[in-house]
Amino acid sequence: MSKLRPLKRKDLISSLRRLDFSGPYAGGKHEYMQRGRLKEHIPNPHQSGISVALLKRILEEADISLQEWEQL
């Protein structure tokens, strides 16, 4: 069973950096982080924490497995 939990935006950014993403960069309505040719948009800083549902969607779009995420 997955141990995903809601987290703060700064924690998401920190974790993505540990997975070789760079950024965040300005990108129109949302900032994004990049790994190779992959760009992953991240939630705006003025919104509340990142829910488990949104985190799952971000991980899926960024091609990050739950096992890889939980090893951080």
φ/ψ of residue 55, rounded to 5 = -60, -45
Helical (H) or strand (E) element with 52: helix 52-61
Residue type, 70: E
- Residue at 1 is within a domain: no
Under a CB-based contact definition with an 8 Å cutoff, are residues 20 and 38 in contact? no
- Residue at 34 is within a domain: yes
CA–CA distances in Å: residue 49 to residues 5, 18, 43, 45: 10, 20, 9, 9
What pLDDT does residue 2 have? 64
CATH number at residue 64: 3.30.920.30
The pLDDT tens digits along the chain (72 residues) read 568 999 999 999 999 999 999 999 998 888 999 999 999 999 888 767 899 999 999 999 999 999 999 988
- Residue at 5 is within a domain: no
- pTM of this prediction? 0.88
- Domain extent, residue 66, equals 12-70
